[in-house]
Amino acid sequence: MKQIIKQLTIIITGGAMALSFGCGIDDLIDDVKDEIEDEVAFAPTSLSGKTIHGSRTQNAGFFDTPGSFTLSFINGNSFVLVDTGGTDQGTYTYTKTSSITGTVVLTETGVDGTINVVATFTSATGGTYISTASGGITGTEAGTFTLN
């Protein structure tokens, strides 16, 4: 009987220790995720003063100009877009939405609508993007970009 009680005591103690080690594992996982995200924080906090060189891989609707483009973000909230279709300008907002993504909303001068661009940064200097037009304009576009 003493042997059974001793074994049960060991089992119960071991179970209690296992439970206590398990507590806080979610916090540990969250800490590791945060550290990893900090290590791969490719998306910039601002685009002001930067230039994107893009290459369209798919486009339709409002985005009917094939090829490459240069999108310059002037200090403040202005942009200039140069592509084979000409030069456009307007205002923009940029929001860093995660450590690797950011959203740009472009409002071109003289155009009734906005262009929403979701950029996924695969490095600190480039990645892929998807654009959708809304409001008075429609269309989609996808491609790759470099940022400098």
Tens digit of each residue's pLDDT (9 = 90 or more) over 59-101: 888 887 778 999 999 988 999 999 988 999 999 999 999 999 9
More confident residue, 27 or 104: 104
Residues 8 and 80 in one domain: no
SS3 7: helix
Our count of domains for the chain comes to 2
Q: Tell me: pLDDT of 37 over 90.
A: no
Asked whether residue 44 is assigned to any structural domain, the reply reads no
Residues 137 and 81 in one domain: yes
Q: Which domain holds residue 100?
A: 51-147
Predicted confidence at residue 4, as pLDDT, reads: 64
Residues 104 and 143 in one domain: yes
Q: Tell me: pLDDT of 55 over 60.
A: yes
Q: Tell me: pLDDT of 26 over 80.
A: no
Q: Helix, strand, coil % (nearest 5) of the chain?
A: 25, 50, 25
Asked whether residue 103 is assigned to any structural domain, the reply reads yes
8 A C-beta contact, residue 31 and residue 24: no
Residue 123 belongs to domain with CATH number: 2.40.128
Residues 101 and 139 in one domain: yes
Asked whether residue 28 is assigned to any structural domain, the reply reads yes
